[in-house]
């Protein structure tokens, strides 16, 4: 049965023309960076919930209603001494919106690709998602694979090692997250931000996160992103 639909999350701040630029440097350690991050993955894996948990620190339980189209949220984070504005796009996972969301891949600096650890088909579809990402996204975009709903240990059908193996095969960063408990949610977005900053700016080797969490796996990619 097709899930009922819901309105896309309310945008708090319209994207500006200047947002096309990923690295706007006003001065050493007075940088203002804007990075576009896009959430993708099958319908129901928890993209909207992950964003709500990151943005508002809460989880809204209840019946599932699918995202229609695409919406975005701006969130400023601090990594080391650098402030970054993350413009996070929440896409609809349903197949019928796929052509709409493809258009957003091109401008994304980071893509967070989710599957649900309790849903085998959402994991089986990851290869197809990665193929689409490689087709439509920038070649130097940061890609993270997130196994969401990690709190549902009794319903787990995808082992953590399977997620790790797949991520290794594609050379992408991997974590398990829970939009419900918040485990690794900040860390996932902060890791993407840190990776993007590392590609844009010269930073101290070990910038300190503003959150108390443990890095599950260090980013495997490094080097220049080629942003202008
Ligand atoms: N237990 C648990 N439930 C979750 C978690 N994340 C999401 N859910 C639930 O899973 C269902 C789908 O979550 P959504 O965030 O709407 O999924 P989505 O990926 O945005 O779905 P689309 O908008 O259709 O693409 C909802 O009922 C959520 O409450 C999680 O980490 N743990």
ipTM of the complex model = 0.99
**What CATH number is given to the structural domain containing 148?**
3.40.50.300
Distance 99 CA to ligand 1 centre (A): 22
Give the tens place of pLDDT for each residue, 155-175: 999 999 999 999 999 999 999
Residue 180 lies in a domain: yes
For a substitution probing ligand 1, which of 116, 179, 183 has the most ligand atoms within 8 Å of its CB?
179
- The two tokens of residue 48 are 């909207």
Neighbours of 72 (CB within 10 A): 24
* Residue 95 near ligand 1, beta carbon < 6 Å: no
* Residue 149 near ligand 1, beta carbon < 6 Å: yes
* Residue 64 near ligand 1, beta carbon < 6 Å: yes
Query: What's the gap between Cα 221 and its chain centre?
Result: 16
* Residue 176 near ligand 1, beta carbon < 6 Å: no
Helical H segments across the chain, by residue range: 47-56, 98-105, 120-124, 126-136, 160-170, 185-200
- The residue range of the domain holding 144 is 29-202
Query: What's the gap between Cα 144 and its chain centre?
Result: 7
Whole-model pTM: value is 0.80
Distance 54 CA to ligand 1 centre (A): 14
Residue 8 lies in a domain: no
Residue 222 lies in a domain: no
Residue 209 lies in a domain: no
Residue 20 lies in a domain: no
Give the tens place of pLDDT for each residue, 68-123: 778 889 999 988 888 889 999 999 888 878 887 888 899 999 999 999 999 999 99
Pairing of the two strands 70-79 and 82-91: antiparallel
Residue 139 lies in a domain: yes
Closest atom, ligand 1, to C-alpha of 181: 31
User: What is the number of structural domains in the chain?
Assistant: 1
Average pLDDT, the chain: 79
For a substitution probing ligand 1, which of 52, 55, 64, 184 has the most ligand atoms within 8 Å of its CB?
64
Query: How much helix, strand and coil, in percent to the nearest 5, is found in the chain?
Result: 30, 25, 45
Residue 214 lies in a domain: no
Residue 227 lies in a domain: no
């Amino acid at each position: 049965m097709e899930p009922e639909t819901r309105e896309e999350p309310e945008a708090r701040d319209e994207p500006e023309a200047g947002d096309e630029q990923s690295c706007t440097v006003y001065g050493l350690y007075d940088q203002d960076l804007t990075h576009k991050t896009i959430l993708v993955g099958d319908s129901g894996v928890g993209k909207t919930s992950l964003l709500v948990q990151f943005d508002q620190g809460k989880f809204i339980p209840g019946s599932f209603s699918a995202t229609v189209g695409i919406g975005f949220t701006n969130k400023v984070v601090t990594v080391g001494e650098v402030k970054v504005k993350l413009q996070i796009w929440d896409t609809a996972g349903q197949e019928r919106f796929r052509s709409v969301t493809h258009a957003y891949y091109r401008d994304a600096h980071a893509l967070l690709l989710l599957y649900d650890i309790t849903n085998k088909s959402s994991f089986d579809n990851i290869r197809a998602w990665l193929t689409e990402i490689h087709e439509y996204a920038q070649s130097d975009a940061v890609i993270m694979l997130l196994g969401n709903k990690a709190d549902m240990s009794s319903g787990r059908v995808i082992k953590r090692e399977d997620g790790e193996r797949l991520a290794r095969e594609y050379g992408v960063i991997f974590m398990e997250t829970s939009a419900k408990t918040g485990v690794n949610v900040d860390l996932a977005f902060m890791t993407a931000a840190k990776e993007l900053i590392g590609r844009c700016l010269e930073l101290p080797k070990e910038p300190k996160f503003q959150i108390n969490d443990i890095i599950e796996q260090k980013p495997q990619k490094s080097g220049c992103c080629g942003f202008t």
